[in-house]
Amino acid sequence: MDVSRSAVLIAVLFIGAGLMLQPDASASDKPLAKKEAKPAAAASSALTEGEVLRIDKAAGTATIKHGPMTKLDMPAMAMPYKVRDKAVLDGLRPGDKIAFEVDSVGGVFTVVRLEKRK
């Protein structure tokens, strides 16, 4: 009988230890929930308001002062961005108010959509 009790006790200890090594279900749910919520937030905030400060047609860039970009977790700032469609630069002037979307293209922040505001 002692052997059976010992065997059961050992089995319970191993099972308990195995459960303790399992990742916490609530911890693993949090990153997933965060990722699932992000597309909805990104869709509603895909366009960022900004102002054109400088155009460099030769480099294919526009320096834009903008508000926070939640999609890229980027604070408000001013910086030059590559523009995917360089023809867009022909219609821009410093001081223009715009709404734009930036994505990382080949590791470079690139304007992929731009709309002039009035």
Secondary structure element (H or E) that encloses residue 115, with its range = strand 108-116
Q: Which residues pair with 81 in a beta bridge?
A: 62
Q: pTM of this prediction?
A: 0.62
Judge whether residue 3 has pLDDT over 70: no
Compute CA distances 51 → 77, 81, 86, 104, whole Å.
Answer: 11, 12, 17, 20
Mean pLDDT of all residues in 77-88: 96
Judge whether residue 16 has pLDDT over 90: no
Rounded-to-integer distance, Cα 64 and Cα 101, Å: 12
Judge whether residue 41 has pLDDT over 50: no
| Higher pLDDT pick, 33 / 94 | 94
Q: Which residues contact 17 (CB under 8 A, 6 or more apart)?
A: none
